[in-house]
Amino acid sequence: MAAPRQRGGFVTIHISTHGDVLRHTGRRMAISAGLTIVMTATTLLLHFGTDFSATVTVGYIVGFGLCIATLISAAVSGALSYRSALLMQELTLTRSELSRISQTDQLTGLFNRRGFDDAAALALTSARKRSVPVTVFLCDIDHFKSINDRFGHESGDKVLVEVADVLRQLARKEGVLVARYGGEEFAGLMVGVTRDEAEQYAEALRITCAAREIPIGENLERVTISLGFTVSCADAELSELMRIADRALYAAKRRGRDRVVQADDQSLAA
């Protein structure tokens, strides 16, 4: 059954079944008809008075009735339409908020995997039109499991938030799309930068993370990240770019962590 709910200063109707739709429609029709009758009767009484035996020409009654009916119908329709527009606005905002939530990592505030994939697809389309290269990078927090084991998952969450903050700050400065891609793994995408510029950004990210002191308990801890990236033409598919960056990331881990590896044959074989 439909039940009214208070939100944003006015009551909204929760409609979840076809019966709710019919009841809501019936109520609005009844309200519209009732208001029309009351307003018409009131206007006629005010204009003609209560002398029902008074003589008035038929043409005058017809013309006056049509004008009153039109004005009242427009007023009632406008009021109900305004109410419907408010409900539609609320629905649109709710859908927008749900979409944002579904694409956002709740812990860090960055894109989640779904949000990143959707935004990256749009960025790739733009890059193809402009014929500019695309850089994709992946990074992992080094020894993250050990952090959770030593200090607990709450401290692990704090580390994730701190690293995400580093990514967010550099992303705003450099115009990079960043996301928490899963677990302790973060992803990024840059459009229109050279390989050297991409490497400089990756190194800046690694150095900034390593330099940040994170308060955990009574101590200040430092964490490092391993990072792999690839630079390719915009015609490449996102899934393939992610696989190449992922191989570069694991190469960075094999080579001792806390380093950046480009996705070329020489570095991946090292």
CA 226 – CA 255 distance, rounded (Å): 10
Task: Report the pLDDT value the prediction gives residue 250, as an integer from 0 to 100.
Answer: 94
Q: For residue 235, what pLDDT is reported?
A: 82
184 included as an active-site residue? yes
pLDDT value of residue 229: 96
**Phi and psi, residue 214, nearest 5°:** -110, 120
Low-confidence ranges of the chain (pLDDT < 50): 1-4, 6-11, 265-267, 269-270
Rounded to whole angstroms, the Cα distance separating 66 from 58 reads 12
**Rounded distance, CA 133 to CA 145, Å?**
35
pTM to 2 decimal places: 0.66
Q: Tokens for 42?
A: 């009131």
Joined together, the tokens standing for residue 240 give 């393939």
- Please report the pLDDT score of residue 78 as a whole number: 74
Residue 51 has a pLDDT of 67
**What pLDDT, on a 0 to 100 scale, did the predictor assign at position 9?**
47
Residue 87's CB is within 10 A of a number of other CB atoms, namely 14
Tell me if 205 sits within 8 A of 167, measured CB to CB: yes
- Rounded Cα distance, 176 and 170, in Å: 8
Count other Cβ atoms within 10 Å, centred on residue 23.
15
Q: What pLDDT digit, counting tens, does each position of 38-66 carry?
A: 777 776 677 666 766 666 666 766 676 67
Kindly tell me the sign of the dihedral angle through the C-alpha atoms of 116, 236, 258, 196. negative
The catalytically annotated residue of 184, 197, 218, 240 is 184
Burial environment of residue 50 by CB neighbours within 10 A (0 to 12, 13 to 18, 19 or more): exposed
Residue whose structure tokens are 């450099």: 174
Predicted confidence at residue 269, as pLDDT, reads 44
Q: What is the pLDDT of residue 45?
A: 72
Burial track 144-175 (b if 16+ CB lie within 10 A, e otherwise) = beebbeebeeebbebbbebbbebbeebbeebe
Residues in the chain: 270
Q: How far is the C-alpha of 104 from the C-alpha of 114, rounded, in Å?
A: 8
Give residue-wise pLDDT tens across range 122-136: 999 999 999 999 999
